[in-house]
C-alpha cells in the first residue's frame, strides 16, 4: 500500500464524487477480521511466522491450485458467505497489489493465522496479528482512504461496508489449553471465557466507534472435535471439556452482540454460528455426504499430529469425502455447508451462487 500513497490518482476524486452522489451503490465491500479460518494470505507475508499456509497442498482446489494463504484446500467460510451475499472478496492487507482502488472495490481482509481476541494468544507462532492489531491496521486503512477520498466520502464508504469478525478458537487451543501460557493457570474455564468476552465487547465497541454499522461475529464450532484434539485423547473421541468452553463462549458472546446491536447507535450487529450443525456433520458424516470426520485429509500417514499440511504429506483419495483438511481446519466442502447453515440461521437470502475458486 506504500506505493499507492506515492502516486497521484485522479480516479480517487471520481470515486469520492460517486460515493457522495450515489446513495445506493452496488459495490458495498467487506472488512474481515479473523484467524486462520479467514486468512487469505496475510501470514504468508509474515516471513517469521510459524503459522503459514505457503506450501503445497494448501490451495489445491482453489484457482491455479497453488498455495494462496488459505489454510484449506479451497475456500474459507468467509469466502463463501461473502460470495453467497454477492459481496466481493477482499484481498489480504499485506498483499502488495492492494491500493485505494482495490480497497474501494473489494475492502480488506486483515485475518491472520494464529490470531486471537487476546494479544497474548499464539505468541509461540512468533508473528501473527491479534484482533487489536488488526483493528489498528484498519485504522491505518481509514486514514489512507480519507487522504485519497476526503473525510466525508471515506466515512460514508466505511459506514456502508459489511464487517466480519471471526475469532476465538486460538484463544483456547493456542493459549488457555496450553500450560506454557500463564492464562492457563491464571484463570478457570469460566473466568477465562468471561475475560475473552469482556475483551471482545471492548473491541466491537471500538469498531463501532470507527464506523462499523453492519457487523457479523462468527461463533465457534465444536473445537474439541478437530483432529488434533481427538488425537490427544486416549480414545480418539471429541474432547467434551473443550467443546463446553466453545459453547459457553458462544452463549456469552452471542448475548453481548445482541445487546450491542440495541445499545449502539445505528448498529446492526449479528451473531452467526453453526455449532450444532457442525457437530452433526462430525457425529453423522454419512448423512451429509462425508465418509470421514475424524482424521485429516492431508497427513503423513501414521505420523501424527503433523499440525500442518506439508509438501511430503499424502492426500486422501477424495477430498470431498473428508470433513477436515488438516489437524485444525475444515475442507472446502465442509466450509460450504457450514457457511450455508450460518446464512440460514441469520435469515440472509442467498443472492449469488458464488464461485468455486
Is residue 184 part of the annotated active site? The answer reads no
CA distance 332 to 340: 12
* Angle subtended at Cα 268 by Cα 197 and Cα 131, rounded to the nearest 5 degrees: 40
Is residue 326 part of the annotated active site? The answer reads yes
Bridge pairing between strands 107-109 and 30-34: parallel
* Angle subtended at Cα 46 by Cα 133 and Cα 202, rounded to the nearest 5 degrees: 15
Catalytic residue among 39, 79, 99, 326: 326
Radius of gyration over alpha carbons of the chain, in Å?
A: 20
Is residue 182 part of the annotated active site? The answer reads no
By the 8 A CB rule, do 113 and 128 touch? yes
Alpha helix stretches (DSSP H) within 219-308:
227-231, 240-263, 275-283
Nearest to 120 by CA among 205, 221, 199: 199
And the C-alpha cell for 182? Answer: 500463564
By the 8 A CB rule, do 335 and 82 touch? no
Alpha helix stretches (DSSP H) within the chain:
2-6, 10-21, 77-84, 100-106, 131-149, 151-160, 169-171, 183-186, 189-209, 227-231, 240-263, 275-283, 332-345
By the 8 A CB rule, do 146 and 154 touch? yes
Collapsing DSSP states into helix, strand and coil, what is residue 115?
Answer: coil
Catalytic residue among 35, 36, 112, 208: 36
Catalytic residue among 112, 130, 171, 329: 329
Please list the active-site residues: 36, 326, 329
Amino acid at each position: 500500500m506504500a506505493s499507492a500513497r506515492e502516486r497521484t490518482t485522479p480516479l480517487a476524486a471520481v470515486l469520492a464524487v460517486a460515493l457522495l452522489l450515489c446513495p445506493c451503490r452496488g459495490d458495498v465491500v467487506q472488512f474481515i477480521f479473523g484467524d486462520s479460518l479467514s486468512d487469505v494470505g496475510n501470514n504468508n507475508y509474515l516471513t517469521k511466522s510459524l503459522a503459514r499456509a505457503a506450501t503445497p497442498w494448501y490451495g489445491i482446489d482453489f484457482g491455479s491450485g497453488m498455495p494462496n494463504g488459505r489454510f484449506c484446500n479451497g475456500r474459507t467460510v468467509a469466502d463463501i458467505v461473502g460470495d453467497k451475499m454477492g459481496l466481493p472478496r477482499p484481498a489480504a492487507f499485506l498483499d502488495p497489489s492492494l491500493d485505494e482502488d482495490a480497497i474501494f472495490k473489494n475492502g480488506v481482509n486483515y485475518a491472520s493465522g494464529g490470531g486471537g481476541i487476546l494479544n497474548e494468544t499464539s505468541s509461540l507462532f512468533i508473528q501473527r496479528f491479534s484482533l487489536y492489531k488488526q483493528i489498528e491496521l484498519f485504522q491505518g486503512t481509514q486514514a489512507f482512504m480519507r487522504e485519497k477520498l476526503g473525510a466525508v466520502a471515506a466515512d460514508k464508504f466505511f459506514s456502508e461496508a459489511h464487517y466480519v469478525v471471526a475469532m476465538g478458537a486460538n484463544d483456547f487451543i493456542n493459549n488457555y489449553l496450553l500450560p506454557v501460557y500463564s492464562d492457563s493457570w491464571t484463570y478457570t474455564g469460566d473466568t477465562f471465557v468471561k475475560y475473552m468476552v469482556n475483551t471482545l465487547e471492548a473491541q466491537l465497541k471500538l469498531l463501532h466507534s470507527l464506523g462499523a454499522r453492519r457487523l457479523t461475529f462468527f461463533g465457534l464450532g465444536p473445537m474439541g472435535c478437530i483432529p488434533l484434539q481427538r488425537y490427544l485423547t486416549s480414545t480418539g473421541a471429541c474432547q467434551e471439556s473443550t467443546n463446553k468452553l466453545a459453547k459457553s463462549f458462544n452463549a456469552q458472546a452471542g448475548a453481548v452482540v445482541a445487546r450491542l446491536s440495541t445499545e449502539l447507535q445505528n448498529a446492526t450487529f449479528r451473531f452467526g454460528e453453526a455449532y450444532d450443525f457442525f457437530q452433526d456433520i462430525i457425529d453423522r458424516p454419512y448423512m451429509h455426504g462425508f465418509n470421514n470426520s475424524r482424521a485429516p485429509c492431508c497427513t503423513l500417514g501414521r505420523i501424527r499430529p503433523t499440525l500442518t499440511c506439508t509438501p511430503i504429506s499424502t492426500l486422501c483419495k477424495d477430498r470431498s469425502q473428508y470433513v477436515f483438511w488438516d489437524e485444525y481446519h475444515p475442507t472446502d466442502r465442509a466450509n460450504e455447508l457450514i457457511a450455508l447453515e450460518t446464512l440460514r440461521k441469520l435469515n440472509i437470502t442467498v443472492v449469488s451462487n458464488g464461485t468455486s475458486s
